[in-house]
Amino acid sequence: GEDVEQSLFLSVREGDSSVINCTYTDSSSTYLYWYKQEPGAGLQLLTYIFSNMDMKQDQRLTVLLNKKDKHLSLRIADTQTGDSAIYFCAEGLYGNKLVFGAGTILRVKS
């Protein structure tokens, strides 16, 4: 079955790194995504990784993929108060259907 799991809450200090973890179940996923949701706003695509990659870096964001363990992580370097939001991991399935986790609330303390 399809299932994506994430830890519910993460609190970090401004300037530290944040690491948000995710596990998924469907090995046929070809893309895995990270979305950001701020209050009153839509879901914003942050980054994605193709399943044959194990790392992708995009400015302050680093995505690590362990396909064997079906584990995905998002690292945010030099976390800022503006990074406070809910972060969703999603796996892309056949037919372009996305399956989302429940989201991780990131709180950044100044």
Partner 1 sequence: GAGVSQSPRYKVTKRGQDVALRCDPISGHVSLYWYRQALGQGPEFLTYFNYEAQQDKSGLPNDRFSAERPEGSISTLTIQRTEQRDSAMYRCASSPLGGTHQETQYFGPGTRLLVL
Q: Is 61 in the site for partner 1 (CB under 8 A)?
A: no
CB of residue 43 to partner 1, shortest distance in Å:
4
Interface positions, 5-34, toward partner 1 (CB under 8 A): 30-31, 33
The sign one gets for the Cα dihedral 45, 80, 78, 66 is negative
Nearer to partner 1, 20 or 103 (CB): 103
Q: Is 92 in the site for partner 1 (CB under 8 A)?
A: yes
CB of residue 52 to partner 1, shortest distance in Å:
13
Q: Is 36 in the site for partner 1 (CB under 8 A)?
A: no
Binding residue for partner 1 (CB under 8 A) from 42, 59, 68, 82?
A: 42
The answer to whether 89 and 33 are in contact (CB under 8 A) is yes
Half-sphere exposure of 78 (CA within 13 A, CB side): 2
Angle CA(32)–CA(33)–CA(34) in degrees, nearest 5?
A: 140
The sign one gets for the Cα dihedral 93, 32, 36, 85 is positive
Binding stretches for partner 1 (CB under 8 A): 4, 30-31, 33, 35, 40-45, 48, 88, 90, 92, 94-103
